[in-house]
Amino acid sequence: MSGVKEIREAIITTLPSETSIFGQPPKPGQTYVPRAHIKALQPEAYLVVGARGVGKSFWAAALNTAELREILGSSVSWLEKTEVRLGFAGEPNIDFYPNMDEFSSLQEKGYTPYEIWRAVVVRWATNALGKWEDVPTDKWPATTDWIRANPESFSKCMERLSAMFRENGRQGLLVFDALDRTSHKWESMDAIVKDLLRVVLWLKGFPAIHAKVFLREDQYGRTVTNFPDASKLLATRAELTWQPHDLHGLLWQLLCNAPGNHGELLREVYAKICGKEPRQNAEVWSLTDEAKKEGPIQKKLFEALAGQWMGRDRRRGVPYVWSVSHLADCRGQTSPRSFLAAVRTAAENSLEKYPEHEYALHYESIKRGVQEASKIRIDEMAEDYPWVEALCKPLAGLNVPCEFTEICDRWENIPFPQDNQDSLPPPHAKLGAKGYVEDLKNLGVVETMRDGRINMPDLYRVGFGLGRKGGVKPVRRD
């Protein structure tokens, strides 16, 4: 059918082939804001929790970049009147905040993280006010000493800062991201994060001054919120999760903003289902609300690409749901990167293997795409949690579900991830094998069944080279 081949080519060209548009500054057409994420951007959300790949660093970058904030502008109008400053981030900026070595050095000298973070705050304040008394801003120990010695002056400084913002009808926002780069030891990182949250709580006391801390789930899961009044932060926390309809919305956002002829073709497909073309604003096309929600329109959109059923037997599911659910981890969460990768691979596979098929994406291609996405998801995971790969690679060849002891046997001869590597080890490493399983569970990589056996979803199983148990052995059929 004419059009189908072109649709496939359009999808292949448009969707990212290598792992990441994430991490690089996002282009306007690729900026998709799920409703749940808008909540994360509101001033009252001091704590934002999310796994990698769901845009944590993206959002921190977006908050700090004027052009991007302009795009988000209508959703988050308050941002226009906000001065944003990074209190910590992946990129080094030694004047604004200490790096890992500096943190370590300061802690060795006896400074607590609480004091260090307040030093970060005071540097911002003096910068914004132009000057405040004689706060030293050249070396961190000096700034931190000043904090220790001048609590009252510091308070006054913050009050002045707050007043200044208010007079100008503006507000200030300190953003903290990539906190896993503050230390490679859990004990010190816990202290660093916990004290940061206490500082943030203290900042709440100043009107017109806000803070936003982005945490990974594993950081959040520890005892960092174990201090008085932490509930005030927890109550308004936001979680950056992608619901299935958000993933589909993202997909169509990217497709509708494809360059040149590809974009025209895909917008035509969109228009046929939605009744009209997407809204255009400068160079950017945006979807109707209907196309961003779970509902018949979104379903029909994916049907236009992949058909109604995952095979001749209608009991085996609908592509709209199947493509997302089979990319889910044990917590039922699917990452945008895996989903887009799966769709792209499906288009490639259909182009090659099913040229005559009436839909752009053949269901067998979707299955193939989901399998390929496993490798991508594993890479994604490895960027933030290298220990996951270290623990799971030795499991290759096992069949799941399997006994806990089978896994322990595989781990017998490998060096357990230690503290002195280049990144944080598993949070519960001290508990040994049980601890590792616990940590893998928390990341959704494995689950424990009621009978005690360990199970791994296909999302990880395929890439890590494990099989899945079945009673019917392959050679039997002769």
Residues making contact with another protein (CB under 8 A): 309-310, 313-317, 321-322, 325-326, 367-368, 371, 396-399, 401, 449-451, 455, 457-458, 465-474, 476
Closer to another protein by Cβ: residue 37 or 461:
461
In angstroms, rounded to a whole number, what is the distance separating the alpha carbons of residues 103 and 447?
A: 36
Closer to another protein by Cβ: residue 208 or 454:
454
Tell the smallest beta-carbon distance from residue 17 to another protein (Å). 22
Task: Please give the angle made by the CA atoms of 115, 116 and 119, to the nearest 5 degrees.
Answer: 90
Closer to another protein by Cβ: residue 218 or 372:
372
3-state class of 182 per DSSP?
A: coil
Tell the smallest beta-carbon distance from residue 471 to another protein (Å). 4
Q: Residue 325: enclosing H or E segment and its boundaries?
A: helix 319-325
User: In which residue are the tokens 């503050």 written?
Assistant: 182
Tell the smallest beta-carbon distance from residue 315 to another protein (Å). 6
Tell the smallest beta-carbon distance from residue 353 to another protein (Å). 12
In angstroms, rounded to a whole number, what is the distance separating the alpha carbons of residues 240 and 214?
A: 10
Tell the smallest beta-carbon distance from residue 308 to another protein (Å). 10
Tell the smallest beta-carbon distance from residue 441 to another protein (Å). 15
Closer to another protein by Cβ: residue 336 or 457:
457
Tell the smallest beta-carbon distance from residue 388 to another protein (Å). 18
Tell the smallest beta-carbon distance from residue 397 to another protein (Å). 5
Q: What are the structure tokens assigned to 326, written together?
A: 């089979």
> What are the φ/ψ torsions at residue 347 (nearest 5 degrees)?
-65, -40
Residue type, 281: N
The residues, ordered by sequence, that sit 6+ positions from 329 with a Cβ below 8 Å of its Cβ are 443, 444, 445, 457, 459, 460
User: In which residue are the tokens 């081949």 written?
Assistant: 5
For 81, 173, 385, 423, the CA distances from 164, given in Å and listed in that order, are 13, 14, 42, 41
Q: What is the CA radius of gyration of the chain?
A: 25
3-state class of 53 per DSSP?
A: coil
Closer to another protein by Cβ: residue 136 or 317:
317
The residues, ordered by sequence, that sit 6+ positions from 274 with a Cβ below 8 Å of its Cβ are 288, 290, 291, 297, 301
In angstroms, rounded to a whole number, what is the distance separating the alpha carbons of residues 189 and 211?
A: 19
User: In which residue are the tokens 């200490």 written?
Assistant: 98
Going by the DSSP 8-state scheme, the letter that residue 224 receives in this structure is G
Closer to another protein by Cβ: residue 367 or 441:
367
**Which of 370, 244, 361, 357 has the alpha carbon at shortest distance from 304?**
361
CB 256 within 8 A of CB 287: yes
Closer to another protein by Cβ: residue 228 or 471:
471
Closer to another protein by Cβ: residue 252 or 460:
460
Closer to another protein by Cβ: residue 267 or 326:
326
Tell the smallest beta-carbon distance from residue 470 to another protein (Å). 4
Residue type, 455: N
Q: What are the structure tokens assigned to 186, written together?
A: 């859990």
Tell the smallest beta-carbon distance from residue 306 to another protein (Å). 15
3-state class of 339 per DSSP?
A: helix
Q: What are the structure tokens assigned to 22, written together?
A: 């994430």
Closer to another protein by Cβ: residue 15 or 466:
466
